[in-house]
């Protein structure tokens, strides 16, 4: 893929990022391919052989894919690591993987130095900010392929993931796994090619960003622009300055975008709010009666803020509220939702421009089979998948592998259903399922969707907690941790001449839980809630760690 892209798109920009001077530094496809070959030469000269592990401990930047592909192109195995790891966590993963070389940024290099003496297999550590330029200019061999050929079933990467469910496991993905996924989702990006520009926001070490935000644009001849920061001001600037056409994000990103749009409208007063509502109504009528989306024309001022060139957004990592997709759609923005896991390289199903069903995660990718195991009366059961993108297994953990892959079918641990047209709907995680004393089931995601409609609820995590006393002792009931939106609450309280304090916050949230809970059948309503301070614990893709929240509030 890389050789082909370098030959076809040689002079086009592959990677770019703003440097300290405020200017964008750009790397062409030809230069990118030359650089990754030099990294391969360096690794070979350092004694790295086919199958050896090389760790990558760095924030998002153009050097990240250079090191990633320089490693995998010589048949070595890349081990991408979370930049937020603390030293002891870093030690555990380096020790488990047996990494012999690590590339780390200047900011993270100190953590490597703290644990290096305890890692006898770690022979070399490379500071990306101080050493990489010398490697790229002084590497003695321009083409490093002196090893045995790399085969499709060879392991390309070991990705350590804890997701939201406990101890990290090393997911082994082969070259075939990853490339089958890239080719499988190609229809999703059919209108993308040379001249398009992906804005990289999510952590590069996460498989969603690796496959959709790195492999796919390089496969299509598009550019990747690395965001200078996650602040909305910088993101919008990057979009405007580089004419971004596509973003892969998580639900929280699109919720923040939507909240920001609404906040700016609200700040302009009643007239602006009225005009905005009228435009939404006109757009809706056009869609319903004329089957034409005129949102891009009606809301051109919003498109301009996003750079004016967005073709569509991609959402993954967690379920996205269909209401957010609909509101963006009325403004002329398309959000395509997908579904997958690290173990599946990662995408299993995705909506496309031809089949964008709001609330669904689309149909399975070509070559991927999905079935619902042991469905209930509603057709809901555990999602199982089979295909060329399913991982080789968990590194050094055959027991966990055999529990997860049964007769070639991967057990996702997620609950869902398929409609008559083959569209997949996610209803929750089987491990998160709350079983009440009555025997009725409650899916936390469903409750969260209902309560999060409150303007005063910034974040919510629903979980099952056992009753500790009384006639129902030991049975589960529905609990929730809620982060209030203090800015909106302060504004609401001030307008009513009230004082904002803990008592007021608790009262308002209590009323919101009760009122929005009426959208749910009685057995699904929250029995007890906790006011959380600060944001809830999250994974790298901003998915709330339900097990961590439950552990904190179920004591």
Nearest partner of 529 among 472, 476, 470, 460, judged by Cα: 460
What percent of the chain stands above pLDDT 70? 96
Q: Nearest-CA neighbor of 78 among 129, 139, 150?
A: 150
Q: How many CA atoms within 13 Å lie on the side-chain side of 402?
A: 4
Residue 82 scores a pLDDT above 70: yes
pLDDT of res. 540: 74
Q: Does domain 27-150 have CATH number 3.40.50.980?
A: yes
CATH 3.30.300.30 domain span(s) along the chain:
439-553
> How large is the average pLDDT for residues 199-222?
95
N-term to C-term CA, the chain:
52
Dump pLDDT digits (tens) for 449-488: 889 999 999 999 999 998 888 766 777 899 999 999 999 9
Residue 357 to residues 296, 351, 433, Cα–Cα distance (Å): 20, 7, 25
Q: Are 336 and 171 in contact (CB under 8 A)?
A: no
pLDDT for 139 beyond 60: no
- In this predicted structure, the answer to whether residue 142 has a pLDDT above a threshold of 80 is no
Q: Which residue has the tokens 């999703």?
A: 188
* CATH classification (class only), 439-553: alpha beta
DSSP state of 436: B
Strand partners, 457: 484
Alpha-carbon distance 259 to 24, whole Å? 29
DSSP string, 286-345: IIIII----HHHHTHHHHHHTTS---EEEE-SS---HHHHHHHHHTT--EEEEEE-GGGS
Q: State the pLDDT confidence band at 166, using cuts at 50, 70 and 90.
A: very low
- Nearest residue to 411 via CA among 432, 434, 391, 388: 391
What would the DSSP string read from start to end of 221-258?
Answer: T-EEEE-S-SSHHHHHHHHHHHT--EEEE-HHHHHHHH
Residue 174 main-chain phi, psi, to 5 deg: -90, 170
For residue 408, the tally of other CB atoms under 10 A from its CB is: 11
H/E stretch holding 278? helix 270-285
- Residues of the chain within CATH 3.40.50.980 domain(s) are 27-150
What pLDDT, in 10s, does the model give residues 535-550?
999 887 778 888 899 9
- Segment 326-360, tens digit of pLDDT: 999 999 999 999 999 999 999 999 999 999 999 99
Q: For residue 148, what pLDDT is reported?
A: 64
Q: pLDDT tens digits for 61-77? A: 999 999 999 999 999 99
For the segment 506-528, the average pLDDT, to the nearest whole number, is: 92
Asked whether the bond before 346 is cis by omega within 30 degrees of 0, the reply is yes
List pLDDT tens digits, range 111-126. Answer: 999 999 999 999 999 9
Q: What are 390-442's pLDDT values in tens digits?
A: 999 999 999 999 999 999 999 999 999 999 999 999 987 777 888 786 667 78
Give the closest residue to 347 by CA, choosing from 321, 368, 329, 331.
Answer: 368
pLDDT(39) > 80: yes
Q: What share of the chain is helix, strand, coil (3-state, %, to 5)?
A: 40, 25, 35
Q: Which of 132-146, 172-186, 294-308 has the lowest mean pLDDT?
A: 132-146
Mean pLDDT of the chain: 92
526 by DSSP, 3-state: which?
Answer: coil
């Amino acid at each position: 893929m890389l050789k082909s892209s370098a030959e076809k798109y040689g002079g086009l920009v592959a990677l770019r990022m703003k440097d300290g001077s405020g200017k964008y530094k750009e790397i062409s496809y030809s230069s990118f391919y030359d650089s990754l070959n030099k990294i391969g030469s360096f690794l070979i000269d350092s004694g790295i052989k086919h199958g050896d592990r090389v760790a990558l401990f760095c924030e998002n930047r153009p050097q990240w894919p250079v090191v990633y592909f320089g490693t995998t192109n010589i048949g070595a195995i890349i081990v991408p690591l979370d930049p937020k790891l603390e030293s002891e966590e870093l030690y555990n993963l380096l020790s488990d993987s047996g990494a012999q070389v690590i590339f780390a940024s200047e900011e993270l290099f100190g953590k490597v130095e703290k644990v290096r003496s305890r890692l006898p297999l770690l022979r070399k550590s490379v500071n990306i900010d101080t050493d990489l330029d010398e490697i790229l200019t002084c590497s003695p061999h321009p083409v490093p392929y002196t090893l045995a050929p790399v085969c499709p079933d060879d392991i390309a990467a070991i990705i350590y993931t804890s997701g939201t469910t406990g101890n990290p496991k090393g997911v082994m993905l082969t070259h075939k796994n990853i490339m089958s996924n890239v080719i499988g989702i190609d229809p999703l990006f059919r209108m993308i090619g040379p001249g398009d520009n992906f804005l990289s926001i999510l952590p590069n070490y996460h498989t969603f960003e690796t496959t959709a935000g790195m492999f796919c644009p390089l496969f299509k001849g598009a550019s990747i622009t690395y965001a200078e920061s996650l602040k909305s001001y910088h993101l919008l600037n990057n979009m405007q300055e580089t004419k971004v056409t596509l973003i892969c994000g998580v639900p929280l990103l699109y919720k923040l975008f939507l909240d920001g749009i609404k906040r700016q409208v609200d700040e302009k007063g009643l007239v602006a709010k009225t005009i905005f509502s009228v435009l939404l109504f006109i757009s809706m009528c056009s869609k319903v009666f004329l089957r034409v989306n005129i949102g891009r024309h009606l809301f051109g001022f919003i498109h301009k803020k996003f750079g004016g060139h967005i073709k569509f957004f991609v959402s993954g990592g967690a379920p996205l509220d269909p209401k957010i997709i609909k509101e963006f759609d009325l403004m002329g923005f398309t959000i395509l939702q997908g579904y997958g896991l690290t173990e599946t390289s990662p995408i299993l199903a995705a909506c496309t421009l031809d089949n964008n069903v709001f609330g669904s995660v689309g149909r399975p990718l070509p070559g991927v089979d999905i079935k619902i195991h042991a469905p209930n009366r509603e057709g809901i059961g555990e999602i199982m998948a089979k295909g060329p993108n399913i991982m080789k297994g968990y590194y050094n953990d055959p027991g966990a592998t055999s529990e997860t892959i049964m007769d070639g079918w991967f057990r996702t641990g997620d609950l869902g259903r398929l409609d008559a047209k083959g569209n997949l709907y996610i209803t929750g995680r089987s491990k998160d399922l709350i079983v009440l004393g009555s025997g009725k089931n409650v899916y936390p995601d469903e409750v969260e969707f209902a309560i999060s409609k409150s303007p005063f609820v910034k974040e919510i995590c629903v979980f099952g907690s056992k009753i500790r006393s009384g006639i129902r002792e030991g049975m589960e009931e529905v609990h929730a941790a809620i982060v209030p939106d203090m800015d909106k609450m302060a504004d609401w309280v001030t307008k009513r001449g009230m004082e904002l304090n803990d008592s007021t916050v608790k009262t308002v949230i209590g009323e919101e839980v009760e009122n929005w809970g009426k959208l749910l059948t009685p057995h699904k309503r929250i029995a007890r809630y906790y006011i959380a301070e600060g944001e809830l614990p999250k994974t790298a893709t901003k998915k709330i760690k339900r097990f961590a929240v439950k552990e904190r509030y179920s004591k």
